[in-house]
Structure 1
Amino acid sequence: MDESHLNKNQKKTSWVVVLTFLTMLVEIFFGITSGSMALLADGIHMGSHVLAIGLSWLAYLIVRRVSRKGKFTGDKNKILSLSGYSSGLMLLIFAIVIMVEAIERFFYPVSINFKEAIFVAIIGLIVNIISAFLLHHDHEHSDHNIRAAYLHVIADALTSLSAILGLTVAMIWDIPFIDTIAAILSSLVIIKWAIGLLKGSGSVLLDIEQKHHSHGHHH
């Protein structure tokens, strides 16, 4: 990773951190003032992504600091992979939490304010789509750090999308379990991504050469 890519990726990541953080604040604020559980829950979820993407941003900062000082003798790319690995673990936890919540809802259904929940999910989706565009990176110069931030955003978009679809179907055709099924399916996909990220970044950390090095970034 050369300086210009680090710089570009750091900028992208910092914008996304700010955007996600502001959305989180707005959602938590309105969640509390309007007594909306959906907004509050989504705001808290956003918080976990703020932490993960903030970690990615921090990793760029550290890499650029050590690049300038020149005292660091290790492989600088490994800092990015370590951040990506940690972020991957967070993603895995995020997916499992959603799955557990969904299964709990299946056994103890709560009454959902559909219109409001769908509205919240749409806000989340829009923010995540903007973030995904911001974080979009050319795979050739991809590092596990920006990939991790990107996956967090896409994962959140996926959960928002599955919530929108699930809630809409539940509201129109009165199928109560559909949003639980949607949440579990999206969790499984996110778990698959997280494991891919852990494998990719883990192999860099352990100096395991991957056969398809330049193109080893398929979803």
Structure 2
Amino acid sequence: MLNQSSPAAGHSHVFLGADHARSERRTWAVIWLCGAMMAAEIIGGWLFGSIALIADGLHMSTHAGALLLAALAYRYARRHADDPRFSFGTGKLGDLAGFTSAIILAMIALLIGFEAVSRFLSPVPIHFAEAIPIACLGLGVNIASALLLAGGGHEHGHSHGHGHDHGHHDHDEEHIIQTNSGEIRLEVFEDGVPPHFRLYANARHELPASAAVIETVRPDGGRQTFLFAVRNGYLESLDEIPEPHAFMANVTIFGQTYPVAFEEHEHATGAAGRDNNMRAAVVHVAADAAVSVLVIGGLLLARAFGWLWMDPLVGIVGALVIASWALGLIRDTGSILLDMTPDRAMEQKLREAVEHDGDELADLHLWRLGPGHLGAILSITTRHARTVTYYRNRLARFKSLSHLTIEVHEPPQAGNV
């Protein structure tokens, strides 16, 4: 018999990656760079009569076109993030763009391979004086593009797409402690910085640094003491908190100790948290850079030793490298578009969290909604008087579960069909 079924009420369906806006800006910057280089090469080739320069400019246009696909996907997903027509938001649009971009990349690999084989069979003269500088110029553009896409490097590794509120600070957990001095809020803060404890007192009571100390006790018996310093309106631990964040924290305020349990939160890992739209853009840049390096090497050897066959050989090697990257991207984005389970480790941990004290997880569906956001439907059979809220609280540590629907059933009675 069905007991109860409930999704989270009144929650958002915005499942974009935490770095969505910044990734969109970086992609547009690379498009402008490639577009400027494309125009310069085509105009320069036309003015100076260089067919090779015009050809490289046209090649750059395909590069810019693939990046334009990524940028438009970012923009569309952002503008339609709250559109109710998208039942599970627009988070997968980047995966669709990545899949399409990977198809284009695979076609480019086939064209390069075909041209290379043709030149093996029918060699053509190589204009080294033009070809080598153009290849070096292309490599320079690709390096600049890679730096723009990197955008100064990855931010602190704990910046996850938590829940639905993308304006909050990133913290593992916060706890409200009722003390003799009033209400104290304790949290692990790690918004772009190493994780530290922070203590916030009631606005009417100031908490001096000497009044607080925390001792953590880990499951293996390890202990660490944290002293505090006064910051702007709060206390912050002097030492950072080592991973994992699973321990008992004995919080002492004015000599009175309050035990607080911290659990390590589970986040989407690997393919479940990856931005495949940005990955596709980076693969295009990396593929172009790899081909440029191979071409430069092949041209130098061909000019030095007369090995004209080196040029088509490096073309074939480059085509194989690009094809390999394209197939990997097709496989990963295709599995997301087909709603394959994105994180088998999290699937197992969900099952263990539900079944650890006798309940049965009768059915589980886990799929990706967007970078760092997962959806799940759980059907649970239990002999206990447990509500949906009980299981939501038990699964609260799985921060990547941005859309969770839970069904609770009673086991069938003997003699009932």
- Kindly provide the amino acid, as one letter, of the partner of residue 209 in structure 1: T
1:192 maps onto 2:340 in alignment: no
Contact 1:118-1:164 within 8 A present in 2 as well? yes
The answer for the alignment partner of 2:118 in structure 1 is 104
The answer for the alignment partner of 2:382 in structure 1 is none
The answer for the alignment partner of 2:42 in structure 1 is 28
Equivalent positions of 1:41-190 (< 5 A) are 41-136=55-150, 138=154, 142-190=274-322
- Structure 1 CA distance, aligned partners of 2:44 and 2:96? 36
Give the gaps of 5 or more residues in structure 1: 215-219
- Structure 2 CA distance, aligned partners of 1:199 and 1:71? 27
- 1:174 Cα deviation (Å)? 0.9
- 1:183 Cα deviation (Å)? 1.0
- Structure 2 CA distance, aligned partners of 1:152 and 1:59? 16
- Structure 1 CA distance, aligned partners of 2:19 and 2:76? 14
Select the residue among 13, 17, 28 that pairs with 2:27.
13
- 1:210 Cα deviation (Å)? 3.7
- Kindly provide the amino acid, as one letter, of the partner of residue 69 in structure 2: L
- Structure 2 CA distance, aligned partners of 1:29 and 1:176? 29
| Residue identity (%) | 38
Contact 1:3-1:64 within 8 A present in 2 as well? no
- Structure 2 CA distance, aligned partners of 1:149 and 1:156? 11
* Deviations, residues 152-202 of structure 1 (Å, cap 9, x unaligned): 111111111111111011001110100111111011010000000001111
Contact 2:83-2:89 within 8 A present in 1 as well? no
Length, aligned pairs only: 214
Contact 2:17-2:91 within 8 A present in 1 as well? no
- 1:102 Cα deviation (Å)? 1.4
Which structure dedicates a bigger proportion of its chain to strand? 2
- Structure 1 CA distance, aligned partners of 2:109 and 2:103? 10
Contact 2:17-2:275 within 8 A present in 1 as well? no
- 1:4 Cα deviation (Å)? 5.1
* Deviations, residues 16-55 of structure 1 (Å, cap 9, x unaligned): 1111111111111122222222212211111111111000
Change (3 A) 1:145 1:191: same
Higher RCO, 1 or 2 (CA under 8 Å, sep at least 6)? 1
Contact 1:159-1:183 within 8 A present in 2 as well? yes
Give TM-score scaled by structure 2 length.
0.49
- 1:2 Cα deviation (Å)? 4.3
Contact 2:295-2:311 within 8 A present in 1 as well? yes
**Which is greater in Rg?**
2
- 1:96 Cα deviation (Å)? 1.0
Give the gaps of 5 or more residues in structure 2: 1-14, 158-268, 347-417
Select the residue among 324, 333, 339 that pairs with 1:201.
333
